[in-house]
């Protein structure tokens, strides 16, 4: 158990009371033959086997009452109070929650709500540090001043959610298409930082064409499986500039495996940016000498279309919600 969970066990007096009530019920419901009963009860069961029937039943009830008293009252006796160093309020806690072991070594200095708030803040900071450390380019993409080149699309990206309508609808990510310098990559970094900060997403990894173009080399030096495993397992993945990747048959099949794993088997999201806007051009990226690669390209495109939301960064729109009738091309499927 983590340090936080350990302290919370003593601070969460409601939970302790619930556990005590459950223990009381358990003892009350115990029967003589029960092997898992508390010590004093099993001790009685052992001593009582020669007693006359009636005496035995009565003695057992007494032993139960004693067991409850011993176990439950012993814990309650260790309920005390302290003053929270954050909010200044007095709060209750147990110095002991078990009669045998588990003694809180030092008195807690924060009340339960403040303790939880601190835990959340620390966890959040850890996620942010991890996000920055694993993605050195985040510094660049998060330091842009000024306004987004495509505000409507930027907003659409920021509004992405994995689950909609109380879990009825599921989006497995975004495919951002359009010209260079329209703000696609920046929009994803902003979105992901928000998700990591506010929504408990633990890990994010961005890879670009340079890293994906190294796949053939990784096959040679046998680091390919570790690399692909990382891409498969990270909670949020950005594949930046997918169309800049030189798609050899091996790269095509690795990509297919990656999308199968994330989108179909593990329900993990993926964000993609590329300049390629149409389905035909996408499949063309997979135009090796073999028909297999083209088929893979088509399958990947179909899978993405099924699972993800496509946003076209070339279409000029006003931020509008809901879209007005006169708007042309907004939200149109490429290809």
State phi, psi for 187 to the nearest 5 degrees.
Answer: -60, -40
- DSSP-derived letter for residue 103 is B
Using CB under 6 A, pick the residue from 59, 113, 149, 257 that binds ligand ATP.
149
185 binds Mg ion (CB under 5 A): yes
DSSP three-state, residue 119: helix
Return the ∠ at Cα 20 (arms to 98 and 117), rounded to 5°.
80
87 binds, among ligand ATP, Mg ion, Zn ion, none (CB under 5 to 8 A by kind): Zn ion
7 binds Zn ion (CB under 5 A): no
319 binds ligand ATP (CB under 6 A): no
183 binds ligand ATP (CB under 6 A): yes
Question: At closest approach, how far in Å is the CB of 17 from Mg ion?
Answer: 55
37 binds, among Mg ion, Zn ion, ligand ATP, none (CB under 5 to 8 A by kind): none
Torsion of CA 127, 128, 134, 135, to 10 degrees: 140
Integer angstrom CA distances of residue 21 from 26, 49, 72, 103, 164: 9, 29, 8, 20, 39
114 binds Zn ion (CB under 5 A): yes
Task: Name the one range near Mg ion by CB under 5 A: 81-89, 94-102, 178-186, 289-297.
Answer: 178-186
State which residue, 5 or 146, has the beta carbon closest to ligand ATP: 146
Q: Which helix (H) or strand (E) holds 311?
A: strand 309-312
Rounded CA-CA distance 131/284 in Å is: 34
232 binds, among Zn ion, Mg ion, ligand ATP, none (CB under 5 to 8 A by kind): none
CB 284 within 8 A of CB 119: no
82 binds Zn ion (CB under 5 A): no
138 binds Mg ion (CB under 5 A): no
Torsion 251-225-191-265 (CA) sign: positive
State which residue, 188 or 307, has the beta carbon closest to ligand ATP: 188
Using CB under 5 A, pick the residue from 87, 109, 316, 320 that binds Zn ion.
87
CA neighbours closer than 13 Å in the CB half-sphere of residue 128: 13
163 binds, among Zn ion, ligand ATP, Mg ion, none (CB under 5 to 8 A by kind): none
Count of residues touching ligand ATP (by CB under 6 A): 16
- CA 39 remoteness from chain centre: 42
| Residues near ligand ATP, by CB under 6 A | 144, 146-149, 154, 180-186, 241, 273, 275
| Residues near Mg ion, by CB under 5 A | 185
């Amino acid at each position: 158990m983590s340090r936080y969970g350990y302290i919370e066990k003593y601070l969460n007096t409601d939970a302790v009371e619930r556990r005590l009530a459950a223990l009381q019920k358990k003892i009350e419901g115990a029967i003589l033959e029960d092997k898992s009963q508390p010590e004093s009860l099993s001790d009685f069961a052992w001593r009582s086997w020669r007693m006359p029937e009636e005496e035995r039943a009565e003695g057992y009830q007494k032993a139960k009452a004693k067991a409850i008293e011993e176990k439950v009252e012993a814990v309650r006796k260790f309920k005390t109070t302290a003053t929270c160093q954050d909010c200044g309020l007095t709060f209750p806690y147990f110095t002991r929650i078990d009669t045998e072991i588990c003694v809180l070594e030092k008195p807690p200095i924060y009340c339960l709500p403040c303790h939880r708030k601190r835990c959340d803040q620390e966890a959040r900071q850890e996620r942010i540090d991890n996000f920055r450390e694993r993605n050195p380019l985040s510094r660049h993409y998060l330091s842009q001043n000024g306004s987004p080149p495509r505000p409507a699309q930027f907003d659409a990206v920021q509004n992405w959610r994995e689950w909609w309508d109380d879990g009825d609808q599921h989006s497995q990510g975004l495919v951002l298409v359009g010209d260079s310098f329209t703000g696609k990559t920046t929009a994803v970094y902003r979105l992901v930082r928000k998700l990591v900060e506010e929504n408990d997403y633990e890990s994010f990894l961005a890879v670009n064409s340079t890293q994906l173009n190294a796949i053939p080399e990784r096959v040679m030096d046998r680091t390919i499986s570790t690399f692909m495993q990382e891409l498969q397992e990270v909670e949020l993945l950005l594949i930046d500039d997918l169309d800049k990747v030189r798609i050899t048959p091996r790269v095509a099949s690795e990509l297919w495996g990656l999308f199968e794993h994330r989108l179909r088997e593990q329900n993990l999201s993926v964000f993609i940016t590329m300049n390629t806007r149409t389905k035909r051009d996408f499949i063309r990226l997979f135009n090796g000498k073999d028909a297999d690669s083209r088929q893979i390209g088509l399958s990947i495109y179909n899978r993405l279309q099924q699972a993800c939301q496509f946003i076209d960064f070339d279409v000029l729109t006003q931020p509008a919600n809901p879209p007005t009738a006169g708007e042309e091309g907004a939200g149109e499927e490429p290809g």
